[in-house]
Amino acid sequence: MTQLTSAPGPVAVAEAPRRRVSLPGGIDRVFRTVLRGAGFTVLALMATVGVFLLIRGLGAFSSAGLGFVTTQAWQPDSGNFGIAAVLVGTLLIASVALVVAFPLATGMALYISEYAPRRVRGFFTSLIDLMAAVPSVVYGLFGSTLLQWEGTDIPKWLSIQFGWIPFLDVPDADPDNPLSPNGVYMTSTFWAGLVVGFMIMPFICSVMRESFTQAPQGEREGAFALGSTRWGMIRSVVLPFGRSGMIGGTMLGLGRALGETIAVAMIISPVFVIQPHILGSGANSVSALIAQQWGSASPFGLGALMAAGLALFMLTLVVNFAASAVIARSRSGQGSDA
């Protein structure tokens, strides 16, 4: 006679008590306090700079009113002053710089992260970082003593071939006259933007390179396994994943370009009128205005320069905060479409 036995039921397993993690103490608490203090110190310094510029420029703001952002002339002692011309000039120089720096930075970042042999990858990375450490006055010397004098055929050719585009036209030039002086092509927004573009390219390239190298290895290999070429893998995996890093690096470069002073002041011929022709002589920027007018300004003129500095300070803060938000998002890989 067969004896039926029931299957044993599940055996209750006693759960081990969870180990409680105590709050950090000792050196951890000191380290956290130091970091928190450093963060608050940076915020306090930024707030101090902003409040200082606001207090020193309050008299100029009160005198100019809304005309401070609509007036092109800069004659603070006579009450006729504003930042319309220099602000537009600042944005134009920064725009030319981005047009120059973005393709160079993207190509160099892709080459270092995807194409360069391992033995030379570190060399190119160090070289790009070294370019970021070169003082701006060196770039200014390079632009004012070499590019402007030896490269005038570049803006001249651009104005002849693409003069039908309004901002590439040079009204004071006569391309049909071989004896026409080349001075109309020299101290322009184009040259200032070109030099600033060389300056900001290493910063943009560094952010892009870090973003590209973080693309998941599994997705790279999966693209190759599906028969993709290297460029197809870059287009479908690396670029979508690094899109946020590209945007963030470009915005960081924009913030750097907006505040560049010495190199721009060494190249441009300052004019206080909106100059939309980027190839023609004459340009200006807020930072160059402050550097050029500081030594000879009256007490009220110094207040007007402080007000202009506050406008540039706020513009740069907005750009940098937006860039930080985009870069923080890119580090988690949320920029990838995969």
Neighbours of 182 (CB within 10 A): 14
Neighbours of 248 (CB within 10 A): 26
Neighbours of 203 (CB within 10 A): 22
Please indicate, yes or no, if residue 310 is contained in any of the structural domains: no
CATH of the domain at 238: 1.10.3720.10
Residue 131: give the domain boundaries.
84-294
- Give tens-digit pLDDT for 176-226: 666 667 778 888 899 999 999 999 999 999 989 988 988 888 888 888 888
Q: What percent of the chain has pLDDT over 90?
A: 22
- According to the model, what pLDDT value does residue 1 have? 44
Report the sign of the C-alpha dihedral through residues 273, 278, 281, 285, in that order.
positive
Please indicate, yes or no, if residue 228 is contained in any of the structural domains: yes
Q: Is the pLDDT of residue 334 over 60?
A: no
Please indicate, yes or no, if residue 57 is contained in any of the structural domains: no
- Give tens-digit pLDDT for 86-128: 999 999 999 999 999 999 999 999 999 888 888 888 888 888 8
- Range 253-274 burial, b when 16+ CB lie within 10 A, else e: bbbbbbbbbbbbbbbbebbbee
- According to the model, what pLDDT value does residue 338 have? 41
- According to the model, what pLDDT value does residue 23 have? 54
Q: Give pTM, 2 decimals.
A: 0.84
- Structurally, the chain folds into a number of domains equal to 1
- According to the model, what pLDDT value does residue 194 have? 93
DSSP assignments along 227-282, one per residue: T--HHHHIIIIIHHHTHHHHHHHHHHHHHHHHT--HHHHHH--B-SS----TTSB-
Please indicate, yes or no, if residue 150 is contained in any of the structural domains: yes
Please indicate, yes or no, if residue 226 is contained in any of the structural domains: yes
Q: Are strands 74-75 and 80-81 parallel, antiparallel or unpaired?
A: antiparallel
DSSP assignments along 1-52, one per residue: -PPP-PPPPPPP-PPPPPPPPPPP-THHHHHHHHHHHHHHHHHHHHHHHHHH
- Give tens-digit pLDDT for 142-161: 988 888 888 888 888 888 88
Please indicate, yes or no, if residue 113 is contained in any of the structural domains: yes
Using DSSP, state whether 75 is helix, strand or coil: strand
Please indicate, yes or no, if residue 167 is contained in any of the structural domains: yes
Please indicate, yes or no, if residue 64 is contained in any of the structural domains: no
